[in-house]
């Protein structure tokens, strides 16, 4: 929350990436509370999502000039509106994703990137649902549109995206083969509807175990947000003309690939999707976010918040995320 400083100037705190690098480059800094310009809204931030895209931006893999305020997702209450704003007023509850600069007590955001938060959904739940919920939504609805009876592998199924994606695949009639790194995480995946859950640390041949679960056929789609350590098993798990949706690289990037390998694997498809390309228009953003938040509101999509951290403990939050020690969604609370 912004506070009055010297001479009555409003000040606030923000989580700043001082230079590209590891978690040690993060610093919480005081700054003058920003004012919204034309087409912008100032939001009192109540919760911020912790995501791997933040890590990629902090490290410079997705380059942003430093210093910059970290965080791409959040929820809060409109505190001020700039010129040329229609449909938003002070006091409105809003949420957003894919907008850098969110991890602060006050964030100035483009009005066209904000979506309304329905009654009955808390700011924490809205922040937890936006980026990962819309990611799960585009994967299951658009990248590979799951149909009744389809087999889907969901890697890291106890993570934030994984739990939501498992639920959405099952809600569309799909059958989930989940992977996770501990027996406890496998139980979490089963609790979200996975038919089979494989502990990849104990399974000698992950692709063979997946194929066994499908009667030797292979799966229709693999949703892989892990990357380097799972990619080979993902490719080998597909049926002919199956789809490998590589939507992240939690374990590191996948090495360059000879396209001929896709032929050898059964004329399979490989795509590297990103949420930004699935919310290209205001209309698509409102539709996708609206479906996710409505499902949270009516209880058909259950969230798991795995930890809440003040800005001063942001490095610990990202350590839990990057080490894959967390389950569910991690939040920063400004």
First to last CA, the chain: 7
Mind listing the pLDDT tens digit for each residue in 129-163? 999 999 999 999 999 999 999 999 999 999 889 99
In this structure, what token pair is assigned to residue 259? Answer: 């396209």
Neighbour tally for 293: CB within 10 Å: 25
- Residue 96, CA distances (Å) to 93, 204, 220 in order: 11, 41, 32
* pTM of the predicted protein model: 0.91
Rounded to 5 degrees, what angle do the CA atoms 230, 137, 113 make? Answer: 115
Neighbour tally for 120: CB within 10 Å: 11
What is the second-level CATH architecture of the domain 3-130+277-333? Alpha-Beta Complex (3.90)
Q: Is 150 exposed, middle or buried (0-12, 13-18, 19+ CB in 10 A)?
A: buried
Structural domain boundaries in the chain: 3-130+277-333, 147-272
Per-residue pLDDT of the chain (334 residues; tens, 9 = 90+): 455 444 444 569 999 999 999 999 999 999 998 899 999 999 999 999 999 899 999 999 989 999 999 999 999 999 999 998 999 999 999 999 999 999 999 999 999 999 999 999 999 999 999 999 999 999 999 999 999 999 999 999 998 899 999 999 999 999 999 999 999 999 999 999 999 999 999 999 999 999 999 999 999 999 999 999 999 999 999 999 999 999 998 888 999 999 999 999 999 999 999 999 999 999 999 999 999 999 999 999 999 999 999 999 999 999 999 887 777 799 999 9
Place of tokens 């041949």: 205
The highest-level CATH class for domain 147-272 is alpha beta
What is the crossing angle of helices 183-191 and 160-171, to 10°?
40
- Please give the torsion angle defined by the CA atoms of residues 225, 231, 237 and 241, in that order, rounded to the nearest 10 degrees: 80
Cβ–Cβ < 8 Å for 27, 18: yes
Per the DSSP assignment, residues forming a β-bridge with 39 are: none
Provide the b/e sequence for 179-209 (b: ≥16 CB within 10 Å).
bbbbeebbebbbebbbbbbbbbeeeeebbeb
In this structure, what token pair is assigned to residue 53? Answer: 């895209």
Place of tokens 């000039």: 65
pLDDT value of position 3 = 52
């Amino acid at each position: 929350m912004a506070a009055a400083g010297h001479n009555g100037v409003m000040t606030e705190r923000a989580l700043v990436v001082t230079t590209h690098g590891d978690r040690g480059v993060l610093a919480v800094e005081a700054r003058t509370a920003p004012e919204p310009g034309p087409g912008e809204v100032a939001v009192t931030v109540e919760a911020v999502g912790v995501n791997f895209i933040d890590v990629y931006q902090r490290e410079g893999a997705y380059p942003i000039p430093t210093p910059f305020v970290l965080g791409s997702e959040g929820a809060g209450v409109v505190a001020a509106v700039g010129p040329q704003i229609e449909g938003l007023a002070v006091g409105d509850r809003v949420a957003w994703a894919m907008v850098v600069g969110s991890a602060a007590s006050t964030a100035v955001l483009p009005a066209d990137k904000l979506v309304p938060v329905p009654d009955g959904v808390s700011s924490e739940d809205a922040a937890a649902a936006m980026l990962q919920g819309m990611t799960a939504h585009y994967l299951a609805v658009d990248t590979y549109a799951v149909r009744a009876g389809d087999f889907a592998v969901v890697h890291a199924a106890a993570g934030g995206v994984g739990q939501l994606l498992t639920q959405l695949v099952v809600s569309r009639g799909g059958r989930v083969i989940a992977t996770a790194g501990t027996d406890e995480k496998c139980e979490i995946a089963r609790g979200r509807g996975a038919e089979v859950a494989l502990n990849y640390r104990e399974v000698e041949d992950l692709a063979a175990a997946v194929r066994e679960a499908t009667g030797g056929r292979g799966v229709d789609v693999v949703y892989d947000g892990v990357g380097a350590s799972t990619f080979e098993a993902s490719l080998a798990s597909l049926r002919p003309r199956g789809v490998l949706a590589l939507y992240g690289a939690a374990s590191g990037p996948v090495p360059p690939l000879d396209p001929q390998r896709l032929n050898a694997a059964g004329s399979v498809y490989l795509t590297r999707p990103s949420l930004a390309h699935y919310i290209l228009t205001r209309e698509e953003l409102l539709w996708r976010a609206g479906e996710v938040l409505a499902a949270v509101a009516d209880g058909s999509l259950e969230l798991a918040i795995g930890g809440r951290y003040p800005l001063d403990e942001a490095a610990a939050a990202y350590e839990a995320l990057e080490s894959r020690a967390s389950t569910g969604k991690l939040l920063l609370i400004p």
